[in-house]
Amino acid sequence: MAHIDAGKTTTTETGAVLYRHHLQDRRGARRNRGDGLDGPGTGAGHHHHLRRHDVHVARQPNQYHRHPGACGLHGGSRTIAARAGRRRGRVRCGGRRGAAIRDGLASGRQVPGAAHLFREQDGPRGGRFRAYADADSREAPGEPGGGPASARGGRRFRRRDRSGRHEGGSISGRIARRRIGARGDSGRRLDEATAAREALIEKVCEVDDRLLEKYLHGEPIAAEEIVPILRRRTIESLVPVLCGSAFRNKGVQPLIDAVVDYLPSPADIPAVTGTAPDGDTVLERPARDEAPFSALAFKIMTDPYVGQLAFIRVYSGVMASGATIYNPRLGRRERIGRLLKMHANKREDIQQVYSGDIAAAVGLKTVGTGDTICDRAHPVLLETMEFPTPVITLAIEPKTKADQEKLGQGLAKLTTEDPTFQVRTDDETGQVVVSGMGELHLEIIVDRLRREFGVAATVGRPQVAYRETLTRPALAEGRYVKQTGGRGQYGHVKLRVVPRPAGDGFVFENRIFGGAIPKEFIASVEAGVREAVTTGILAGYPIEDVVVTLLDGSSHDVDSSEMAFKIAGSMAFRNAARQAVPVLLEPIMKVEVVVPEVYMGDIIADINARRGRVKSMEAHGGTQIINARVPLSEMFGYATELRSRTQGRATYTMHFDRYDQVPPAVSEEIVARIQGR
């Protein structure tokens, strides 16, 4: 897990991304861009020495976590680490010019809530990844069979331990025998590698008395003694860190070996918990084939050859191709047409999936991202996936009538695949409005519409997804009376609105006593209020974080109807909202800029000019890391501006942080612009 351009795809492709031959993603846009955003999962059968293991690489959390050594720990890495909770491992990658493994390792310690163990040392010099020291019995890059580095020469080293013996079979010896390089700094690097090995062994000995005793007596410690302890500690809380260069194919095999050796298999993790469909009973599903079947659909995508694919992670039990599964969220049964092991645009038919497997199911038409599928006789609802709220919108229109139908079909499929992508039709303008997580996200969506669905569309400028909220309590009523000669319409509602803390959402409460409003009309009042909440008072943006309490009202025996009370409820809410002093909210972004010190003053001044607030600054080698909060409306085109101000030497990451009140002067300008004044 990491932010964009950190090297996730390069690691899994062992360097192929720079040559645009992606295994994981066949989409031309991603190949040209060099990222694997929203790529499909990959299931790879990996032969580890004499043992066979299936290693699944998928776009989902709780795999290994990459931090790029070139810039240290990005804000995106910190954000992902905070959202991910438990981390299983960290990877440091080098190979590009400017990558500093030591700086990367140092910044890795800044990730909160995890104990780190750095298993490897050293890295690239001047853009050339020359060597690293490994703390167990793996062959390091630069060894025979390790790629081009093997042919560049270099010397081997053997060091005697305190007793004068060559450390050939121990961890110490295997570190000492690394091909460090053919330069004059080899001795220094060997000393650094030895010191790193000592630090690792000391860390491991802290949790094992037997190894501690051997260490204190100067006895060699074999790799076979270290691996089980590291595995146990990793499953508990330890975070192993490795280094390497995926582009130069250095350290990739040790990474896969570490995944096999250190990360927990499905049998090692606790039983997953869920609830019965009624929501009251807590159920457990252990990772055993004998347990009732349960799985989570973590990704939906459309394949041009087989239709909709549901990528599933099996938590318990066994499911066969052709079986009937149950979706407890919808209460519906569906039949699995085929089960596939995916290798991007290659696929392999399989007959069964077992606990711990990741596969793709064909034939599930109603299953969505985050849905549980299970055995009908043993229903369970696993924890659902939470997705962030889209923060940026733009209007999209087909260029011709022929594109109209294709646009609708394409958008429908894309919203099924991506829960963070939303589509709506503006009631006033009739325009199709799409919302996403950023400019790049929507750029990819538009590109996919053109490439995959053949839609020629006109795209408007990005628009910020503002919100509205209320700042004080208010009491109001709404009365809808209409007489047309026959049966009329009558609805009368009295309600109160009270602001809630940010992020608490909308709540409707019914406090009607004595039948002032018949029970059959209460739901209509709530429907009217919810409809009014979606179009605010100031500029038509949704109103958030408010509790609406229905207090009183009246009805007519003949003229009252559901429609009348729905309209009355909407009128009452809008009347109360006008009195409650509505304000405009804007998305605030968490921005982290990595910039050379010489440009720091200029960048800070630019952030302040964008109504941003600098939260902290941190020195990192010859650069400064600026942590700021900036309104999204001020960040459009920032990438180009940053490159211009720093001659392309600065980078930044940006993530949604919260909604905050817009300053009054800015709010007036926004409202006037939207209302066309």
The three-point CA angle 136-139-143 to 5° equals 145
Residue of 261 and 173 predicted with greater confidence: 261
Residue of 14 and 466 predicted with greater confidence: 466
Task: Say what the pLDDT of residue 342 is.
Answer: 81
Ramachandran angles phi, psi of 204, nearest 5°: -70, -40
Residue of 637 and 11 predicted with greater confidence: 637
Task: Say what the pLDDT of residue 420 is.
Answer: 86
Task: Say what the pLDDT of residue 567 is.
Answer: 94
Whether domain 392-465 has CATH 3.40.190.10: no
pLDDT bin (cut points 50, 70, 90) of residue 507 is very high
May I ask the CATH class of domain 61-264?
alpha beta
The CATH architecture one would assign to domain 584-675 is 2-Layer Sandwich (3.30)
CA 207 vs. chain centroid, Å, equals 33
Residue of 47 and 33 predicted with greater confidence: 33
Task: Say what the pLDDT of residue 480 is.
Answer: 92
Task: Say what the pLDDT of residue 630 is.
Answer: 95
Gyration radius from the chain CA atoms: 30
- Rounded CA gap, 168 and 145, in Å? 20
CB neighbours of 628 closer than 8 A, spacing ≥ 6? 591, 592, 593, 607, 612, 613, 614, 615
Whether the pLDDT of residue 548 is over 50: the answer is yes
Q: Which two structure tokens, joined as six digits, stand for 111?
A: 């990730």
Task: Say what the pLDDT of residue 98 is.
Answer: 44
Answer yes or no: same fold for 392-465 and 584-675: yes
Whether the pLDDT of residue 617 is over 50: the answer is yes
Q: What tens digit of pLDDT does each residue of 550-609 get?
A: 999 998 888 889 999 999 999 999 999 999 999 999 999 999 999 999 999 999 999 999
| Average pLDDT over every residue of 384-391 | 78
Task: Say what the pLDDT of residue 147 is.
Answer: 39
Pairing of strands 613-620, 582-596: unpaired
Q: Which two structure tokens, joined as six digits, stand for 51?
A: 């043992």
Strand blocks (E) in 357-455: 358-362, 372-374, 381-382, 392-398, 422-425, 432-436
Q: Which of 4, 239, 23, 24 is nearest to 116 (CA)?
A: 239
- Please give the mean pLDDT across all residues of the chain: 75
Whether domain 272-382 has CATH 2.40.160.40: no
Ramachandran angles phi, psi of 175, nearest 5°: -70, -45
Lowest mean pLDDT among 8-22, 216-230, 314-328: 8-22
CATH T-level topology, domain 468-580: Ribosomal Protein S5; domain 2 (3.30.230)
Q: What tens digit of pLDDT does each residue of 446-499 get?
A: 899 988 888 888 888 777 889 999 999 999 999 999 877 667 889 999 999 999
Whether the pLDDT of residue 250 is over 90: the answer is no
Q: What tens digit of pLDDT does each residue of 64-109 get?
A: 344 444 444 444 444 444 444 444 444 444 444 444 555 555 555 5
Task: Say what the pLDDT of residue 661 is.
Answer: 93
Q: Which two structure tokens, joined as six digits, stand for 529?
A: 């209020």
Whether the pLDDT of residue 166 is over 70: the answer is no
pLDDT bin (cut points 50, 70, 90) of residue 165 is very low
Residue of 143 and 423 predicted with greater confidence: 423
Q: Provide DSSP, 228-258.
A: HHHHHHHHHTEEEEEEEBTTTTBSHHHHHHH
Task: Say what the pLDDT of residue 569 is.
Answer: 94
Task: Say what the pLDDT of residue 436 is.
Answer: 85
Domain boundaries, the chain: 61-264, 272-382, 392-465, 468-580, 584-675
Lowest mean pLDDT among 193-207, 287-301, 552-566: 193-207
Contact between 319 and 352 under an 8 Å Cβ cutoff? The reply is: yes
Task: Say what the pLDDT of residue 528 is.
Answer: 94
Residue of 268 and 410 predicted with greater confidence: 410
Whether the pLDDT of residue 655 is over 70: the answer is yes
Q: Which of 616, 652, 587 is nearest to 75 (CA)?
A: 652
pLDDT bin (cut points 50, 70, 90) of residue 649 is confident
Whether the pLDDT of residue 139 is over 70: the answer is no
Task: Say what the pLDDT of residue 7 is.
Answer: 66
Residue of 259 and 191 predicted with greater confidence: 259
pLDDT bin (cut points 50, 70, 90) of residue 231 is confident
Task: Say what the pLDDT of residue 311 is.
Answer: 92
| Average pLDDT over every residue of 617-631 | 89
**According to the per-residue pLDDT averaged within each range, which of 439-453, 602-616, 663-677 is highest?**
602-616
Percent share of the chain, pLDDT over 90 = 29
Say what the pTM is.
0.61
Diameter over CA atoms, the chain = 111
Q: Which of 97, 66, 83, 192 is nearest to 135 (CA)?
A: 192
Task: Say what the pLDDT of residue 383 is.
Answer: 86
pLDDT bin (cut points 50, 70, 90) of residue 237 is confident
Whether the pLDDT of residue 431 is over 80: the answer is no
pLDDT bin (cut points 50, 70, 90) of residue 45 is very low
Q: Which two structure tokens, joined as six digits, stand for 441?
A: 């996200």
| Average pLDDT over every residue of 655-673 | 90
Residue of 592 and 347 predicted with greater confidence: 592
Task: Say what the pLDDT of residue 106 is.
Answer: 57
pLDDT bin (cut points 50, 70, 90) of residue 308 is confident
Helix (H, G, I), strand (E, B) or coil at 182: coil
